[in-house]
């Protein structure tokens, strides 16, 4: 099974650090109460609770050069949670320029008011490790589908 702890231990802190540099405030992962009364954990929440973000490290197209429908649905689910949380700035943060482009095209004219897509590219050494994790996960899914 693909070990995704690297994403929590390295990628998410890197993205939060970049947000801290941009906005001048600390960010952390936090469970917030939604307007519906339920809760959801967001990956990047500013200390003053005015900025809430979800981080997605999904890559681009599939091996067969198709849009990654499962990854798109996952991102759209995260956008749903962002629509029902109170914050001045709500954003889906992507680390892959290719996936960012895919979502920009797909969501053109469909993104709820007040939501933004943000691209924060990873340094090459982190992106290479993420690519290895994604490849392992992709191989596992392919094998499972062949069964």
**For residues 120 and 18, what is the distance between their CA atoms, to the nearest angstrom?**
8
pTM: 0.86
The pLDDT tens digits of the residues spanning 39-85 come to 999 999 999 999 999 999 887 555 555 666 778 899 999 999 999 99
22-33 CB burial, b ≥16 within 10 A, e <16 = eeeeebeeeebe
Q: In this predicted structure, what is the pLDDT of residue 64?
A: 55
Q: Average pLDDT of 85-93? A: 98
Query: For the chain, what are the domain ranges?
Result: 5-134
The sign of the torsion formed by the CA atoms of 47, 97, 78, 91 equals positive
Q: Assign 132 a pLDDT band (cuts: 50, 70, 90).
A: confident
Class of domain 5-134: alpha beta
Least confident of 22-26, 55-59, 102-106, 126-130: 55-59
DSSP letters for 91-113: EEEES-HHHHHHHHHHTTTTSPT
**For residues 10 and 130, what is the distance between their CA atoms, to the nearest angstrom?**
10
Q: In this predicted structure, what is the pLDDT of residue 58?
A: 80
């Amino acid at each position: 099974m693909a070990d995704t702890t690297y994403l929590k231990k390295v990628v998410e802190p890197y993205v939060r650090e970049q947000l801290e540099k941009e906005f001048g405030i600390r960010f952390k992962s936090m469970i917030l109460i939604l307007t519906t009364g339920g809760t959801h954990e967001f990956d990047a929440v500013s200390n003053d609770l005015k900025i809430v973000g979800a981080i997605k490290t999904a890559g681009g197209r599939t091996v067969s050069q198709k849009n990654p429908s499962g990854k798109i649905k996952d991102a759209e689910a995260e956008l749903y949670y962002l629509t029902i949380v109170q914050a001045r700035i709500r954003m889906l943060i992507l680390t892959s320029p290719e996936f960012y482009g895919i979502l920009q095209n797909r969501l053109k004219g469909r993104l709820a008011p007040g939501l933004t897509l943000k691209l924060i590219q990873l340094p090459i050494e982190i992106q290479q490790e993420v690519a290895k994790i994604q490849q392992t996960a992709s191989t596992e899914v392919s094998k499972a589908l062949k069964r």
